[in-house]
Structure 1
Amino acid sequence: MAKKMQKTNAIRLVEQRKIKYQEYAYAWSEDHLDAATVAEQMDDPQAIYKTLVAVGNKTGPLVAVIPGHAALDLKKIAKVSQNKKVEMLHVKDLEETTGYIRGGCSPIGMKKLFPTFIDTGAQDLKEIIVSAGKRGLQMGLAPEDLLLLTKGKFVDILAAE
């Protein structure tokens, strides 16, 4: 009998809300947890988005969902989140803050619902692929559904390339 995969908070939340999604499993290693490595293994690398957690001086933790190949502009996210200053959350604080570990941090189903900002480019996708809440597992869903689940906003937060 095949071993049943344990559901993550992200998958449970999507299923509770009866939102259509697709699971994507991939091979991972401790040395290659970045979004670019994941994208190499997927059919549609442009749809792979990474979840970054930052801390604003006024809001506290906030979430940025950006293309896997892109960089976050801390000044832009500070402005849209109404903070004066934003810095990345230290990786050692990630699990305690979100409930997720590095390489498996989903914007869906964190311990708390943090302000979430999704890059505007996601609006043009039929499917956005984000972490499903554990290493080796991604989920694809409609960008509007991700917006709904995270109570997020589509904003311009990418650093110039």
Structure 2
Amino acid sequence: MNKTNAIRILEAHKIEFDFAEYEVDENDLSGESVAEKIGASYEEVFKTLVAKGDKTGYCVFCIPVNYELDLKKAAKVSGNKSVELIKVKDLFPLTGYVRGGCSPIGMKKQYPTFIDETSQLFDRIFISAGVRGIQIHLNPNDLKNLLNAEFADLI
């Protein structure tokens, strides 16, 4: 396996993790599909969403794959009056990642990051390793500390 930036960063910080690989179906990049392929519940697999706030600029939200981001809650927790998800075409220039392979770890720039509070119900959660086909499995508190993120009610 080729190490991704996210994996290299976790190793450099000596954060305990493992990973799950899966076959990518370009016609179904849904998080639910990923969860099924790696044998995990939807609630423990987190997708990474990038939004732009009207006051603070770009922010990152990690939520379970079977939920939608509540934009009002996201705005409030990030210090904005409103936030809107960025367009898919803007994802790579901003983060260095593509849809279906966006990790909150190792983006081109570290944006304020918020992780849904339900992550704390699990000893470990899955997040993208930064490429389609690999999910990182790690402790949500380790992720929070690494990213200087906040747990919040986002769904």
Q: Distance in 2 between matches of 1:149 and 1:11?
A: 12
Shift of 1:58: 1.2
Per the alignment, residue 55 of structure 1 pairs with 52
Q: What SS does structure 2 have at the residue aligned with 1:133? A: coil
Q: How many percent identity over aligned positions?
A: 51
| Counterpart position of 2:97 | 100
* Match of residue 62 from structure 2: 65
Cα root mean square deviation, aligned? 0.8
Separation in structure 1 between the aligned mates of residue 18 and residue 29 of structure 2, nearest angstrom:
21
How far did residue 149 of structure 1 move?
A: 1.5
Q: How far off its partner does 1:124 sit?
A: 1.3
Q: Given the alignment, which residue of 17, 30, 36 partners 1:40?
A: 36
The answer (yes or no) to whether the contact 2:6–2:130 under 8 Å persists in 1 is: yes
* Uncovered stretches (5+) of structure 2, i.e. residues with no partner: none
Number of aligned pairs? 154
Task: Determine the C-alpha separation between the residues in 1 that align with 2:32 and 2:135.
Answer: 13
Measured in 2, the distance between the counterparts of 1:60 and 1:11 equals 27
User: Cα deviations across residues 53-108 of structure 1 (Å, max 9, x unaligned)?
Assistant: 11101111110100010110001000010111100011000000001000000011
Corresponding residue for residue 128 of structure 1:
125
Runs of 4+ in 1 over 4 A off after TM superposition: none
> Matches of 2:58 and 2:88 in 1, distance apart?
13
In structure 1, distance between residues paired with 2:23 and 2:83: 33
If the length of structure 1 is used for normalisation, what is the TM-score?
Answer: 0.93
Q: TM-score scaled by structure 2? A: 0.97
Shift of 1:43: 2.2
Q: Using the alignment, how far apart are the partners of 2:125 and 2:56 within structure 1?
A: 26
